[in-house]
Amino acid sequence: MNMFKDLTTEQIEVRVWATIVLTLAGILLISVVCILLAVMFVDQDMDKIAPVDEAFLGIMKDIMLLCIGAVGGIVGRKGAYAAANKIKEAEQ
């Protein structure tokens, strides 16, 4: 792990945090594109959706909700940490 030798702990944390957020955002984007393509370009009966498509959409919706929650939690944690540091610096 020679590439991390000159980095501080905060710099490593920011890089890991950015990698996680970008990965989850990528999963979310791919999920949205898959849902749009699956629904827009497949002929469906106007009254009901096919059971396979309904199951697929349910799975994709769960993945999207998980990604949104994870990104929100990670970003919120980082934002709260940064705000706490600014308040601490202002008090000193």
- Contact in structure between 60 and 17 (CB atoms under 8 Å): no
- Tell me if 6 is assigned to some domain: no
- Tell me if 7 is assigned to some domain: no
1: pLDDT strictly greater than 60: no
Q: Which amino acid is at 83?
A: A
pLDDT in tens, 19-68: 887 888 888 888 888 877 877 776 766 677 777 777 877 887 888 788 78
pLDDT in the model for residue 3: 66
What's the predicted TM-score (pTM) here?
A: 0.58
- Tell me if 1 is assigned to some domain: no
pLDDT in the model for residue 46: 63
CA angle 19, 61, 40 (to 5 degrees): 105
pLDDT in tens, 4-19: 677 777 777 777 778 8
Domain total for the chain?
A: 1
- Tell me if 22 is assigned to some domain: yes
DSSP labels for 2-64?
GGGTT--HHHHHHHHHHHHHHHHHHHHHHHHHHHHHHHHSS---SS---HHHHHHHHHHHHHH
Nearest by Cα to 35 from 22, 54, 21: 54
- Tell me if 26 is assigned to some domain: yes
**Which residue range forms the structural domain that includes residue 49?**
17-91
